[in-house]
Amino acid sequence: MNILPDSRLKAPKHEVLHKGYNWEPVFCANCGKDGGFTPRGNFLFYLCQDCAESLPPIDGTYLMPDEVFWQKFQQEKEGK
């Protein structure tokens, strides 16, 4: 079984406290580009847009551009 790598640091150098959550940095699993933050403790596999477009599709995964993800996130947050 192939398991995707975690895109968080094994030992984060810093976390950000925002709205009662500790957020840790995320990096592209291929090139290491900054990918923002995720709530601490969540597994996350992340590919930046450039890597996602240049690499072949990964079987059993679903790709969603960052802009689409955040649009859907905002809609859910607003209850739409």
Q: Rounded to an integer, what distance in angstroms lies between the CA atom of residue 47 and that of residue 45?
A: 7
Q: How confident is the model at residue 67 (pLDDT cuts 50, 70, 90)?
A: confident
H-state helical runs in 1-80: 49-54, 66-78
In the block, which residue shows the tokens 């551009």?
65
> Of 46, 38, 47, which is closest to residue 18 (Cα–Cα)?
38
Q: Is the pTM of this model over 0.85?
A: no
Structure confidence by residue, pLDDT tens digits, 14-54 = 778 888 888 999 999 999 999 988 888 888 899 998 999 99
pLDDT at 2 over 70: no
Query: DSSP state, 19?
Result: T
pLDDT at 9 over 90: no
- What pLDDT sits at residue 80? 65
Residue 59 Ramachandran class (φ > 0 left, ψ -120 to 50 alpha, else beta): beta
| Domain map (residue ranges) of the chain | 16-78
pLDDT at 72 over 80: yes
